[in-house]
Amino acid sequence: MEAPRDVPEPDHWFEPIAEHLGSAYLRYSFTRGTVQECDFLVSHLGLTAGSRVLDVGCGPGRHAHELARRGITVHGIDISQCFVDLATTDAPRGATFERMDARKMTFDGGFDAVISLCQGGFGLLTGQGEDEAVVRGITKAMNTGGVAAMSAFSSYFSVRYHDGATFDACTGTSHELTEVRSATGASKQVDLWTNCYTPRELRLLLRLCGLHVESISSVEPGDYALRPPTTETPEFLVIARKTE
């Protein structure tokens, strides 16, 4: 019989959801664009073999694995032990993972780039100021001259198109009651909270945390590109640099 895994007490509302989803997370269509997204990141963040990348809220490690296969050294952190275990299983050489809360990161330099994609660790917070703690941790983890790529859910898109979700205009949070299925097909009702942003808020937040925003683009999963922000795509992708 398999020994029971030592599952920590949840620190975050997403942990039981990740535990239920397990590998079924990778069945969601939004995870299918990993190769295109990594092509874009390699090219626009200037990543080369030997670059050191931190993946904040790495989930089951799809970007970390793809980048490591290209010779990049990637360390992924995630609040979900279940996702960290999945990411560690069959990880290619150069990809390592640990359970860590993005709000409490203690890295002090050492990374050429930081990625936080698909709301990873940045957009699934609910407390006031928690996003600032995450961005400050990201800034601190980077070497001077380092670059960050972060995706954030769009407030405009949420208000216009996110049927079935409630948007809290005061906090910019979207709230959705929905159903998720495990790898064995078991269904579970969950409460999903997503922090949403406008490009202006992203610029202000990142500047406050010591990053210089180089671009904010309207993107969707599997279609990362540099293009002006609009109200029509679910996510904004920010590229920002630590200049001093």
Spatial distance between the Cα atoms of 115 and 148, rounded to a whole number of angstroms: 6
Q: Which is nearer to ligand SAM, 171 or 212 (CB)?
A: 171
Scanning residues 167 to 206, which ones bind ligand SAM (CB under 6 A)? Answer: none
78 binds ligand SAM (CB under 6 A): yes
Decide: is 165 part of the binding site for ligand SAM (CB under 6 A).
no
Cα→Cα distances 77→16, 62, 95, 199, 206, Å:
17, 12, 11, 26, 20
Question: Which of these segments, 12-20, 172-180, 212-220, 225-233, binds ligand SAM (CB under 6 A)?
Answer: 12-20
State yes or no: residue 14 binds ligand SAM (CB under 6 A). Answer: yes
The residue with its CB nearest to ligand SAM is 59
Stretch that binds ligand SAM, among 45-53, 79-87, 199-207, 211-219 (CB under 6 A): 79-87
Q: Based on the shown chain and the rule CB under 6 A, indicate whether residue 57 belongs to the binding site for ligand SAM.
A: yes
CA atoms within 13 A on the CB side of 212: 8
| Amino acid occupying residue 208 | L
**Contact flag: residue 66 with ligand SAM (CB under 6 A):** no
Give the whole-angstrom CA distance, residue 25 versus residue 86: 11
**What's the min distance (Å) between Cβ of 226 and ligand SAM?**
19
64 binds ligand SAM (CB under 6 A): no
Q: Which is nearer to ligand SAM, 62 or 242 (CB)?
A: 62
Pairing type for strands 95-99 and 73-78 reads: parallel
Should residue 146 be labelled a site residue for ligand SAM when binding is judged by CB under 6 A? Answer: no
Q: Give the separation between CA 22 and CA 35, rounded to whole angstroms.
A: 21
**Subset of residues 97 to 126 that bind ligand SAM, contact rule: CB under 6 A:** 101-103, 117-121, 124
Decide if residue 237 touches ligand SAM (CB under 6 A).
no
CB nearer to ligand SAM: give 96 or 212: 96
Tell me whether residue 192 or residue 212 sits nearer to ligand SAM (CB atom).
Answer: 192
Binding status of residue 79 toward ligand SAM by CB under 6 A: yes
Interface ranges with ligand SAM (CB under 6 A): 12, 14, 18, 31, 57-59, 62, 77-80, 83, 101-103, 117-121, 124
